[in-house]
Structure 1
Amino acid sequence: MNFKKFVRVIALIALSVGAVVIVTGCAKIVNLPPGYVGKILTPTGWESKIYEMGQIDIGDLDNSGRGNRAVMLEATSVTIKEQFKTSDKDDEDHRIMSKDRIPLVVDIYMQTQLPTDKRMRDSIFAQVTPKLEKGDEGRVFTITLQDVYERFAKMTIRGKTREIFSRYTADEVMTNYNRVNKEIKAMVSDTFMRNKVPLDLIDGQLSNVKVDPEIWKAMNKRMAAESDVKTINLIGDAIRRNPGYVQKYKWDQLEKIAGKGTTIIVNDGGGRDVGYNVPLR
Structure 2
Amino acid sequence: MERTERKEEEEEEEEEEEEEEEEEEEEEEEEEEERRRRRGGDTKANNDEKLRTRCPFPFLTLPSLRKGGPHECILCNAQLEHFGLSRPIAPGQAAQYGLVEAHLPPNPRVCNSCRCRAVRRRVTQCPIPTCPTPKWRVKRLRPLPPQWSDLPPDVKDPIVREFQIPSDLTKCCSACHNRISRKLGPEVEEPVDPSRWSEEEVEALRCTLREVGCHWSKVAERLPNKTEGQCKSFYFKFKKKFDDVLAEYRKARGKE
TM-score by shorter chain over 0.5 = no
TM-score (norm 1): 0.23
More helix by share: 2
TM-score (norm 2): 0.25
More strand by share: 1
- Structure showing greater radius of gyration is 2
